[in-house]
Structure 1
Amino acid sequence: MLTNYIYKLRPNQTQVLKMSAWVNMLRSHYNWCLNDRITQYNQQFIQGDYCDIRTYGEVSPLTCFVSKSGATGNPWKDDKFDREGKARNPRRSAADIQITALPELKIARPWYAQIDSTVLQQNVKRLDTAYKNFFEGRGFPGFKNRSNFTSFTYVMGVKLKGNKIYLPKLGPMRFHNSSSIPDGFTIKACTVRKRQNGWYISLRIEDKSVPEYSAKILGKNPKVIGCDLGITKLVHISDGHQIENPKFATNKKAKRTLKIRQRRVSRKVKGSKNRKKAAIRVGRFHQKIGNKRQAYQWKVANKIVSRNTDVIALENLNISGMMRRCKVKNDNGRFLKNGQSRKKGLNRSI
């Protein structure tokens, strides 16, 4: 059984500065690895072989997604052989090559040596996961900025004792132990994330002795209820019960508060410290709305599963399709009204 526990960290000032520096360096490393893959794709399928004038390096598209003249080294892995003397896996993936190049990165850029090695490896695997999602039909990986790259992940070396957690190369750190981890679970991964009001840690724990779910044997006439999601009411249950929708982000008070705080941001000078402070207040308000929404969803889920029923049926909604923009109406070069202005409020409620 796998589950997650989230706690708020209580780092000292030195640890805060170090984690902030880690995030900045990891973001730069992520963007470099992404640019290396994009460049090699252009070389291999668009430009072909050529010699880089600036570095005088030969570009060979016969190896992998990553160029031979980059900091990725030899793409052929021949250090492991089978009994017949043949290489087991002579061709490596782009992630394997970029992970193998991490020691060279630490030599060329010594400040990367202060980051834990598993954190750097997980940073490359994070990009590999983005590419995997792209090949499955999602969007192409994009370059990260300070607003959408705020976390890093450990996979080993994390120790937990009481209200203190030990993170490699960061040392012991206090945290708010709001809920204790059950006995028998082991830490599989640990993600440190920066939010508007501080640093948080997400522990992924596993207990192999606990099954993922226990199948329930249904009788001849099981009791079934269906749940229909809505906007005016959050959930309509087939037995006639309805659950209210508090609309944390779209009620009158929240919309006015958000409007005032966003107006204060726009009135500050761009690049000033006061503008950054005002933007942090906006971010904290959004975080507060998210916390309320998440807590209410757990309460609603508890109400539904606590009802005396055997089966709960939910509708499979295509949320991204519901929020997609309306099709453009064109009449001989003139754009007609297509209802997108009215749909804007509906998307916000969804």
Structure 2
Amino acid sequence: MYNRVSQSTIGGDYKLLTNYAYKLRPNVTQSNKMGGWLDMLRSTYNWSLTDRIAQYNQQFIQGDYCDIRTKSEACPLTCFVSKNGASGEPWKDAKKDLDGKLKNPRRSAGDIQITALPQLKKARPWFGKIDSTVLQQNVKRLDTAYKNFFDGRGFPKFKNRSNFTSFTYQMGVKVQGSKIYLPKLGWMRFFKSRLIPDGFTLKSATIRKRQDGWYVSIRIEDKSIPDYVLKPIDEVKSILGFDLGITKLVHLSDRYQINNPKFSTNKKAKRTLKIRQRRVSRKVKGSKNCKKAASKLGRFHKKITDKRVTYQWDVANLIVS
């Protein structure tokens, strides 16, 4: 279990967003369904990325052209390299905004690919088994990757089974006791390691496959947070400063030091990692024995990660208290 907290302000009102993660207990049918969904969503993601790249390359070969139906200049571009580029049917009905001005009638690449999802379901009926919001969030995931690219990060990459392990629900998820309802999957049990606080509403849920099973990350929101009033400096009784170290995890201003256990670089962990990595490298690539050895190596890496996260929360609790 882990959580992530973020606080944002809209119109002067505070709201709290946080994630609670739980381990799921799906039955065999549900587990197989989610595994199949990941394969189909990955293929859709890669196809959408291929479509955007191909249409972008076509712009430099074909250039702009005159669309017969709209009798206006159009462009085959589907990616966000051009702000006014789109493919398929790039135009939509012009509507006025609140100020009475006409909105830009040209659609973005994400809007076009989301609109084409019903055609995908008609051509390939097995995609109808996937919840519609999951398919839409999959396209928006590619939009986010393009946005990150223009913010200075790497260009979106094609996904494989090792780096595409999650999908997101935007609506329809319900929690009742130690059960969670996921559209098109039904009710599913989970390990309720902590209670969801009162006053929070469920915003979305991300299902993620890990080495030791399936997990759900529930995003919850609370808009009833009062304004935070800063305490005057003359009322502050004590101040504690800390700095992250290398040999020691944290150095505090009162000369107290917190040890760094180095879960992945101690003698025992290094030896275990060396042995398990060697077993993977000696197996025939793509064989069942290779997958078993890789799974065992992945579980050990997750064990190290869980130890590190737990220790960090314990240290944070110690500093705060």
TM-score of the two chains, using structure 2 as the length reference: 0.85
User: Which residue does the alignment assign to 1:250?
Assistant: 265
The CA deviation string for residues 278-312 of structure 1, in whole angstroms up to 9 with x for no partner, is: 11000000000111111111111112222xxxxxx
User: Which residue does the alignment assign to 1:32?
Assistant: 47
Question: Using the alignment, how far apart are the partners of 2:78 and 2:139 within structure 1?
Answer: 14
User: Which residue does the alignment assign to 2:130?
Assistant: 115
1:167 alignment partner AA: L
Superposition pairs for residues 158-307 of structure 1, below 5 Å? 158-211=173-226, 214-220=228-234, 222=236, 223-306=238-321
User: Which residue does the alignment assign to 1:127?
Assistant: 142
The number of aligned residues is 293
Q: Is the 8 A contact 1:49 1:61 kept in 2?
A: no
Secondary structure, aligned partner of 1:299: helix
Question: Using the alignment, how far apart are the partners of 2:132 and 2:173 within structure 1?
Answer: 13
Offset at residue 80 of structure 1 (A)? 4.2
User: CA 1:285–1:61 in 2, change beyond 3 Å: closer, same or farther?
Assistant: farther
Offset at residue 48 of structure 1 (A)? 2.8
Runs of 4+ with deviation above 6 angstroms: none
1:214 alignment partner AA: Y
Report sequence identity in percent. Answer: 70
User: CA 1:119–1:295 in 2, change beyond 3 Å: closer, same or farther?
Assistant: same
User: Which residue does the alignment assign to 1:316?
Assistant: none
Question: Using the alignment, how far apart are the partners of 1:80 and 1:270 within structure 2?
Answer: 56
Q: Is the 8 A contact 1:43 1:61 kept in 2?
A: no
Offset at residue 220 of structure 1 (A)? 3.4
Offset at residue 214 of structure 1 (A)? 2.8
Q: Is the 8 A contact 1:184 1:207 kept in 2?
A: yes
User: Which residue does the alignment assign to 1:48?
Assistant: 62
1:42 alignment partner AA: N
Secondary structure, aligned partner of 1:266: helix
Offset at residue 138 of structure 1 (A)? 1.2
The CA deviation string for residues 30-56 of structure 1, in whole angstroms up to 9 with x for no partner, is: 111111111122122x323499xxxxx
The CA deviation string for residues 119-166 of structure 1, in whole angstroms up to 9 with x for no partner, is: 000001111111111111111111111000000000100011011111
Name stretches of at least 5 consecutive residues in structure 2 with no aligned partner: 1-15, 66-72, 80-85
RMSD of Structure 2 on Structure 1 (CA): 2.5
Name stretches of at least 5 consecutive residues in structure 1 with no aligned partner: 52-59, 307-350
Secondary structure, aligned partner of 1:166: strand
User: Which residue does the alignment assign to 1:94?
Assistant: 109
Question: Using the alignment, how far apart are the partners of 2:252 and 2:208 within structure 1?
Answer: 37
Residue 19 (structure 1) aligned with residue 34 (structure 2): yes
Offset at residue 99 of structure 1 (A)? 0.6
Question: Using the alignment, how far apart are the partners of 1:230 and 1:86 within structure 2?
Answer: 56
User: Which residue does the alignment assign to 1:62?
Assistant: 75
1:281 alignment partner AA: K
Offset at residue 270 of structure 1 (A)? 2.0
